[in-house]
């Protein structure tokens, strides 16, 4: 095959492969929607019948046995899963925030959770629109994640609003169930967008809104182990050696540039702890780590680094650089005053470490002197 024909064929083949993958994805989403629609309606039936006192508490065991006998090749009809179906329907239809119009209310809340109205429309038309109308309509946004994710959500979340937040994050970032559970355990719902910042005053919309939402307070660094008297460089070493997990905690959009990134100002050289580029914000993000309590001079140092990045690394198409200061503790009033006097867009967050080595464990480790003594003793015995 001539080279030009081969090149044309390669492009055509890539296009065909892409269309096949898109078709597979749509089929998977429709199958997921159909399954959730079935579970939603079975759950609604169970709730209604038991509310009317038609069935007793033992009906789920009998229903499970009858359905398994009729559909031996179909999974999902265990007594436990039938209880989950009931919980699924109750969680979204009986909670006070949802009221009597679950579809409309959920769709409205989902616009914030999923990010844009177009994503909601896409979910409604692409996933739900081609399904037959069921006796009780499944709120369209719920079809964005699979059943296993839903079990994690309605067994962990306190409200539909909280669950919708995680549904939006999962749909946007493609989280597996394990990743979702990790963020549920670390209570991302309460941490997201909570960092103190001055973005509204110094960044244009919608960049200020997006920048505010991407920062957390506190950050959970429970994937690293440090001693009680660790220094900033040790924290930096631990984070960069676990950069994949660190990026997961930062969330999607952060591209890692480097650590101790040098900037030369005048005749002096300075080093930024960590430098990232955020793909959605289209800007650099300079991160400074502080092992102790926040002080106003910390924000001043970060402002200097943000200005240096703007002058030396920011390109014409880049938005203004954002600074993120992550400290062990902070006084919120002091932090707010520092942000009010800042000329650069920065956020201030704390971090949590749950795996610090306890003192009794550290004391059980031999000291250098003890090791040397043991080695000398061993040498004398050998002679």
In tens, the pLDDT along 76-88 reads 999 999 999 999 9
- What are the structure tokens assigned to 245, written together? 């997990």
Beta-bridge mates of residue 117: none
Kind of pairing, strands 254-265 and 322-329?
A: unpaired
pTM over 0.75: no
In angstroms, the CA 115 to CA 98 distance is: 20
In tens, the pLDDT along 174-220 reads 888 888 998 999 899 999 999 999 999 999 988 999 899 889 999 99
In tens, the pLDDT along 34-81 reads 899 999 999 998 888 877 666 666 888 888 999 999 988 888 999 999
Q: Are 186 and 175 in contact (CB under 8 A)?
A: no
- The phi and psi torsions of 49 (rounded to 5 degrees) equal -65, -40
Helix 102-114 / helix 79-93 crossing angle, nearest 10 deg:
90
In the chain, residues under CATH classification 3.40.1350.10 are 196-359
The count of residues in the chain is 383
Kind of pairing, strands 346-352 and 196-197?
A: antiparallel
In angstroms, the CA 336 to CA 321 distance is: 20
Q: What is the CATH number of domain 196-359?
A: 3.40.1350.10
Place of tokens 């079975």: 42
Q: What is the CA radius of gyration of the chain?
A: 27
């Amino acid at each position: 095959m001539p080279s030009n024909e081969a090149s044309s064929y390669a492009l055509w083949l890539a296009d065909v492969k892409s269309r096949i993958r898109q078709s597979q994805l749509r089929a998977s989403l429709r199958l997921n929607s159909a399954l959730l629609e079935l579970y939603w309606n079975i759950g609604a039936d169970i709730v209604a019948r038991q509310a009317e006192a038609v069935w007793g508490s033992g009906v789920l065991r009998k229903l499970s046995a009858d359905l398994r006998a009729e559909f031996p090749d179909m999974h999902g009809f265990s007594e436990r899963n039938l209880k989950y179906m009931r919980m699924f329907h109750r969680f979204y239809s009986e909670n006070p925030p949802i009221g009597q119009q679950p579809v409309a209310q959920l769709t409205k809340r989902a616009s914030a959770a999923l990010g844009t109205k177009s994503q909601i429309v896409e979910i409604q038309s692409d996933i739900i629109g081609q399904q037959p109308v069921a006796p009780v309509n499944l709120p369209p946004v719920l079809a964005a994640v699979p059943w296993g994710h839903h079990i994690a959500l309605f067994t962990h979340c306190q409200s539909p609003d909280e669950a919708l937040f995680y549904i939006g994050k999962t749909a946007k970032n493609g989280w597996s169930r394990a990743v979702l559970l990790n963020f549920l355990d670390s209570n991302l719902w309460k941490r997201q967008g909570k960092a103190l910042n001055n973005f509204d005053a110094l960044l244009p919309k919608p960049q200020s809104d997006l920048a505010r939402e991407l920062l957390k307070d506190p950050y959970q660094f429970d994937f690293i182990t440090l001693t009680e008297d660790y220094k900033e460089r040790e924290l930096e070493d631990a984070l960069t050696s676990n950069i994949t997990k660190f990026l997961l905690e930062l969330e999607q959009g952060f591209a890692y540039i480097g650590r101790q990134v040098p900037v030369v100002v005048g005749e002096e050289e300075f080093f930024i702890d960590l430098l990232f580029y955020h793909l959605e914000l289209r800007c650099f993000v300079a991160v400074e780590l502080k092992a102790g309590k926040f002080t106003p001079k910390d924000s001043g140092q970060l402002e200097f680094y943000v200005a240096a990045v703007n002058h030396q690394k920011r390109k014409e198409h880049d938005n203004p650089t954002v600074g993120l200061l992550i400290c062990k503790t902070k006084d919120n009033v002091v932090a707010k005053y520092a942000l009010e006097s800042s000329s650069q867009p920065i956020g201030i967050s704390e971090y949590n470490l749950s795996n610090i080595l306890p003192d009794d464990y550290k004391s059980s480790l031999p000291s250098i002197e003890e090791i040397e003594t043991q080695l000398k003793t061993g040498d004398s015995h050998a002679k």
